Amino acid sequence: MSSFEDKYHLTSEQSIFLAKKKWDENVYCGMKMENRAVTFPQTQTILNGVNVPNVQLDDIQAILNMRDAWKYLLHTVEELITFAYWCKLNEYIARNEALEWGKLRTGTVGISGTDYIPPIPEKETVIKELDHILSNSDMSATDKALEVFVWGTRGQFFWDGNKRTSLMLANKILVSAGAGIMTITDKYMEQFNAVLLKYYNTGKPDELKQFIYENAIHGINL
């Protein structure tokens, strides 16, 4: 029995339509998750290929990186998720932002606001953990999306872009299954950050999963 049942049951056409309709909002969500100083209109303008004054070059790079990750996701909706696929998402998202991108980190990182130090990932263990989530037939698509998100954010498996990569992987699961899209809007971002920080400190994901399920899974009501 799944802890979180799918809220939506969309056809592949409806799912792609939703993803294309919401992807700019999702890119903005990724920026706000990283505390980037950009507005939604600025994000939309940059995504449309127009220069925006007073936006930092690294913020523009981050927006364009998420754009490319979304393009990759939409072109590979039918592909199976593998370790290599997950790394590819990070390769797009963290391009020119990190020491390395698309590869598991080999050194220690910290997380702002918490004393929790994620362990250095071991490739074989990480692959087994990811496969365990993805292959669990008792979990709904929404369950899997929530699980990979909390797993990836606290694990900090890459040098940079972990929240955005986890968000993107969760959306790959949701979009492929027609189960909606995960996006945290401005209305809920402050509360999300508080719940996320609590999760970093405790390692207990239930409250974060419940919060996302109630406030950040969107779809089409038919």
Query: 3-state DSSP call for residue 191?
Result: helix
Query: Is residue 162 part of an annotated ligand binding site?
Result: no
pTM over 0.85: yes
Amino acid in the structure at residue 15: S
Question: Residue 72 to residues 16, 23, 122, 222: CA-CA distances in angstroms?
Answer: 13, 12, 26, 27
Residue 206, both tokens: 């239930």
Q: Of 52, 25, 24, whose CA–CA distance to 216 is shortest?
A: 25
Residue 127, both tokens: 């692959």
What pLDDT is attached to residue 99?
A: 82
Which residue's entry shows tokens 């919060």?
211
Please give the CATH number for the structural domain made up of 12-218: 1.10.3290.10
Alpha-carbon torsion 101, 84, 153, 66, what sign? positive
**In angstroms, how far is CA 158 from the centroid of its own chain?**
13
136, 93 Cβ separation under 8 angstroms: no
- Residues contacting residue 82 through CB under 8 Å, at least 6 positions apart: none
Residue 11, both tokens: 């056809």
What are the residue boundaries of the structural domains of the chain, listed by start? Answer: 12-218
Distance (Å, rounded) from C-alpha 90 to C-alpha 94? 6
Residue 194, both tokens: 């508080």
What pLDDT is attached to residue 2?
A: 52
Would you give per-residue pLDDT tens digits along the chain (222 residues)? 458 999 999 999 999 999 999 999 999 999 999 999 999 999 999 999 998 999 999 999 999 999 999 999 999 999 999 999 999 999 999 999 878 999 999 999 989 889 999 999 999 999 999 999 999 999 999 999 999 999 999 999 999 999 999 999 999 999 999 999 999 999 999 999 999 999 999 999 999 999 999 999 999 987
What pLDDT is attached to residue 1?
A: 42
Q: For 2-17, b where at least 16 C-beta lie within 10 A, e where not — what string?
A: eebebbbebeeeebee
- Bridge partners of 182, per DSSP, are 217
What pLDDT is attached to residue 164?
A: 97
How many other C-beta atoms can be found within 10 angstroms of the C-beta atom of residue 23?
22
Residue 142, both tokens: 């929404």
**DSSP structural state of residue 158:** B
- Bridge partners of 218, per DSSP, are 181
